[in-house]
Structure 1
Amino acid sequence: MAITAGLSGAGRLAAFCVGKNPLANCAKNQYNRIVSLNISMNEVLLMPLWKRTLAALLLAVMMILPFASAEDAGEAVPDDSVEWTEGAANITRDLTLNDEGDDVSALQTALTDLCYYSGDVTGRYGEATKTAVEDFQRDFALAVTGMADKATQEAIYAAEYRPLRLGCVGEDVRQAQIRLMALGYYTGKISGRYLPATQEAIRLFQTANALPITGEADVQTLERLFSGDAISRDSSAAATPTPSPTPGMHLSDETTTPTPAPTVAFVKKLQYNKSKGEEVKLVQTRLTELGYYSGNISGNFLGHTRNAVKAFQQQNALSVDGIVGENTWNALFNDPDVRAATDDPKPTPEPTPVPFAITVDVNNQVTTVYGRDENGDYTVVVRQMLCSTGTRKNPSDIGTFTLNGRTARWCYFPEWGSHAQYWTRINSSIAFHSVIYNTVNTMDLSVKSYKNLGKRASHGCIRLTVADAKWIYNNCGAGTVVTIRNDMPADPELRAALKLPSLNTKNMLPYVTPQPTAEPDYRAGTMPPQPFRTLKVNSSGEDVYWMQRKLTDLGYYSGKCSGTFLAGTQNAVKAFQKANSLSATGTADVKTLKLLYAEELSATPTPEVTADDRTPEPLPTPAAGQ
């Protein structure tokens, strides 16, 4: 199924869907094949006439079909029941060692996305590609041959995750750790390394979500982890006692006892006008027993069933949406404290704290995600990313907004005929999303939109790199507060620290940049790094970082403490010098630094020399013969 959804800075959004009609899908496949593989016109002309006709008809329909307006101020959003996916690759041959071609490049790109392959996308099937294919085949129970036959290629292009286990390393491990932290299962370091603490966090997640408890993040576990149905630790804590830690285990969080398997296991989501069958009959029967439903046990999920589900959800302190998801199913069949229609309503539980808040800084073109500190305030910087906000002609909306959870894997902007990935709605006019694509094809990136990150360039939305847009899409759900500001001071140190990587045009992804070194260990009130040296614009090092932190503590500096001396640091030094009757040069000479650290220097006592510490007087050398 092909889907497009779009939005504009003026608030016009449109969605477009080709349905499950096999004829339409066949024509769409021909269209996608031409667009995504750049097939020549000669090859198009050699297609059977019926395929050319269907493709042409579909293109004509796509150009003339009016965009339907939706219920939210003209906004149209993709149907939640539709899975947003890219078209399957066109597999024409088995691939093996020393093969070359665009299909090898496509295979390498897919293996890179799944974190099996870390080399360059060369289009040549070398040893590294063979090893990556073998690892994939091993993980997915395929014959380990190192050859990408049709079955292996189909599995690679269909896979969204690689299974993760103890010892795995990569960005996918890092994203899993971030998601586990957001759900309350992991409190360790976001390292990208699957170590025992991550393994234990996966066990806890599997326990709370009624999955097989293995400690390995298999595909089933990862699908649940990154879905909207993932149960957080806080949601399951009330019914799950916490035992004493196992002796000898030193993990970064606590462990919990396994949750008993549900009495009636959840199978799938049930919803209005889309579900029918035995599961619906079970729900109707149970709702009848509890006094919410008086219709026929038909197995058809229609209006009366939906109204009964809503009434049940309201009475049992659940989210009232009329959909039987896992939480509603378990409340119906597996909750010993389930409330019937004639019972007192169940008290509304304390809401789970939203893990993140987002600030978009228009002046610096930086989006910052904050986590909660020990007081529950959003002060801990989790992620900072260059962005493109609206131009001065089409500015981004300024103010505070709350995400409602609406997302789309791909979106379409009909007013400009362009696309983007990982769309997360902010309000009826704007959203977070990736840089721009000309078609629904990851190789058809608008390089200009990527190079414009860090500048005002959008029609009001907040553009990000694909990785950053995906992070928000996966981790910032309904209830996340987004503040868009245009009153923050210039911060050249921050912008320099977030320098945009060069784009690898072979796979249209940024080159991987080295992980930043750990921040120096600054401790207020302790002796600063010495000997002092004169610090000025473009100086860098631990002593610059300490000076920035000290100026921050004293209220002279509000920028990023990066360890690099740029204009923001220079202005802070000038302000300190002026306030302390020094020549305001903006250069931190030794005199300035001694005054800056006067308290630390005076508070460090000179050690007293005791009698025991003195060097003993040498004894006279005895005369010969004595």
Structure 2
Amino acid sequence: MGGPRRRGVLGLAALLTAGGVAFAGVGTAQAADSAVTAAGTAHSAVTGAGTFAAPKKKLKLGAKGKTVVLLQKRLAELGYRPGKADGRYGGSTLTAIWAFQKVNGIKPTSTISSRTWNALEAPKAPRILVKNGKPTRAEVNLSTQIMVMYVQGVPKLITHISSGSGIPYCETTTWQGKSQRFCGSARTPTGNYKTTWRRSGWHKSYLGQLYNPIFFNGGIAFHGALSVPLYPASHGCVRLPMNVAQALPAMLGKGVPVHVRGGFKR
């Protein structure tokens, strides 16, 4: 949930302002062919192999122009959420770049250099955490701080996240008209869950404001936040960039499996 923890790593409040996701009854051979076709379709949806020629022009946060448009369109094609293809390299595009870089084994940075451009030409698919999971599901990788939303087996949304910091906390806040003190451990537990209730717009919880929260483990939810830094910083929820939190509710319905795996190493 809410509560940003301050560090020397760039948060997104300012950046977001600057910036503005066995076959039953089928013979064995036919099932195998269908499985290969489905896997190939999913892989192609992520890699877009042979469809992109990178300009190799170095870009920095704040850049504008046609090369940024090309970057934004490529990220969107691969399932990332850079925001509108408006030619402005702002906060939404930055978080999409972070997600892409992490999936491709590149240290997250705001600078788009040759290594990132090369990866955009031949990208890797995100690592599948649950091999026999439902075709439509959400997977949260705490180790890489990535969430992937699969729709019918295809990764339709890949995003940078910030999960629970793991640090014990005590917060004093006004809740239900009374000043109350809450203490706990800011953890995002691993396990298998399902989405439950949700709210549209800003929702006030006892630990802060959550944008478009979708709950999946008690009081733990996916939600938009103005700060989604490059380290776990929440009280336990899975923070999302604001533009991702706007898109996710239409994709992630009630009762959809959510799998949380891994652990962040500092």
- If asked which structure has higher relative contact order (CA below 8 Å, sep 6+), I would say 2
TM-score, normalization by structure 2: 0.41
Q: Which has the larger radius of gyration?
A: 1
Judging by fraction of residues, say which structure has more helix: 1
Judging by fraction of residues, say which structure has more strand: 2
